Amino acid sequence: MTEGQFGLLDTDDVDSPGDEWEEVDVSDTEADRIARKRDREFSEFRERIKDADQFKVEASVFDDATYGALYKLVQDGHIDAFGGPISTGKEANVYTALSGETEVAVKVYRINASDFKDMRSYLDGDPRFEGIGSDKKKVVTAWVRKESSNLKRARRAGVRTPEPIAVERNVLVMEYLGTEEGRSKRLSEVHIENPETAYEVVKEYTRRLYDAGLVHGDLSEYNIVFHEGQLYIIDLGQAVTIHHPNADDFLERDCRNVANFFARQGVDATPEELLAYVREYATPKDKTDTAPGSDDDAVPQGTPADRHEDE
């Protein structure tokens, strides 16, 4: 990274925290119906995907309705061709795909991921998820919808994030941060030539998120991507609204991760200073909009370390 590459987005058009959460009917999805119906075209699609090299490993862990979701995304014109895997995380795999001429990123949550139990506990105590019970499919569906709405909310607040394009059951299609050569690198992977500027940007992003009523909950150099000279915040599935009982703990942890990372890069940054800055200069505009139950707050009980096997 070189000096002067980052520019903050204008916040002129920033909305106050609103109710982006759409009621989720997670009882049955189009993907489930497609998987049940099993017409010939879908069956052929499923077999083709299962045989495709990039899905080979995952074929055993994707349930039929995941193929149904991918099929629906193809039918709806969001995906025209599947590309290679970008990342295999604890709960989700990320792939590239083509949408027309444009490359997109496809995040597929594995319904049977071993860490699913964590995710279930994240939602406990959130009134909007009360009826969900322990049905894995419903929990994951709600989670993916929340990730999409968190991304939108962050973008409206002037934070660079991938633009969400479509959501189907356990699959999120979003803007791809990368080039034909591959995905853009995480902050943990690049040499930062101007860490002071980068820190200022992340600091401002943290403040803007809080201002918009959100705490990321897993903010670190692993969920910040350096793309086309700018910093992007990713992985907002677990983000909570500021009224969440654990919001303060998450904010403290986010500030600790960020400040300690930049301190290691030689920046004069401390968790305390970052936290104080965010608390002092963020004024969530309408607290009622971020009250529990009014929006997209879910309940992380602790966020797992960010580990992936990159392909």
Ligand X SMILES: Nc1ncnc2c1ncn2[C@@H]1O[C@H](COP(=O)(O)OP(=O)(O)O)[C@@H](O)[C@H]1O
Q: How far is the CB of 223 from ligand X (least distance, A)?
A: 5
Please report whether residue 308 would count as binding ligand X according to CB under 6 A. yes
The residue among 106, 102, 101, 95 whose CA lies nearest residue 69 is: 106
| Closer Cβ to ligand X, 30 or 80, answer by number | 80
> Which of the residues 235, 254, 296, 297 is marked catalytic?
235
Q: Which of 139, 157, 234, 274 binds ligand X (CB under 6 A)?
A: 234
Q: Amino acid identity, residue 33?
A: R
What is the number of the residue whose Cβ is closest to ligand X?
89
Please report whether residue 254 would count as binding Mg ion according to CB under 5 A. no
| Closer Cβ to ligand X, 63 or 91, answer by number | 91
Answer yes or no: are the C-beta atoms of 224 and 187 closer than 8 Å.
yes
Distance between CA 100 and CA 225 in Å, rounded?
Answer: 24
Please report whether residue 152 would count as binding ligand X according to CB under 6 A. no
What is the number of the residue whose Cβ is closest to Mg ion?
235
Please report whether residue 94 would count as binding ligand X according to CB under 6 A. yes
Q: How far is the CB of 186 from ligand X (least distance, A)?
A: 5
Using CB under 5 A as the binding rule, the residues of this chain from 289 to 308 that contact Mg ion are 306
> Which of the residues 32, 126, 218, 289 is marked catalytic?
218
Please report whether residue 173 would count as binding ligand X according to CB under 6 A. no
| Closer Cβ to ligand X, 154 or 174, answer by number | 174
Per-residue tokens: 236: 């907002």
Q: Which of 32, 91, 211, 235 binds Mg ion (CB under 5 A)?
A: 235
Q: Is 235 a catalytic residue?
A: yes
Please report whether residue 171 would count as binding ligand X according to CB under 6 A. no
The residue among 142, 117, 276 whose CA lies nearest residue 206 is: 276
Distance between CA 280 and CA 267 in Å, rounded?
Answer: 21
Per-residue tokens: 224: 């910040």
The residue among 202, 209, 200 whose CA lies nearest residue 157 is: 209
For residue 105, the partner it binds in ligand X, Mg ion, none, with Cβ less than 5 to 8 A by kind, is ligand X
Options 6-14, 22-30, 65-73, 173-181: segment touching ligand X (CB under 6 A) = 173-181
Options 111-119, 177-185, 194-202, 264-272: segment touching ligand X (CB under 6 A) = 177-185
Please report whether residue 186 would count as binding ligand X according to CB under 6 A. yes
The residue among 271, 261, 91 whose CA lies nearest residue 192 is: 261
Q: Is 218 a catalytic residue?
A: yes
Q: Which of 55, 116, 176, 205 binds ligand X (CB under 6 A)?
A: 176
Q: Which of 26, 35, 86, 267 binds ligand X (CB under 6 A)?
A: 86
| Closer Cβ to ligand X, 137 or 183, answer by number | 183
Answer yes or no: are the C-beta atoms of 177 and 227 closer than 8 Å.
yes
Instruction: Provide the binding-site residues for Mg ion, judged by CB under 5 A.
Output: 223, 235, 306
Instruction: Provide the binding-site residues for ligand X, judged by CB under 6 A.
Output: 86-87, 89, 91-92, 94, 105, 107, 162, 174-178, 183, 186, 223, 234-235, 306, 308
Active-site residue numbers? 218, 235
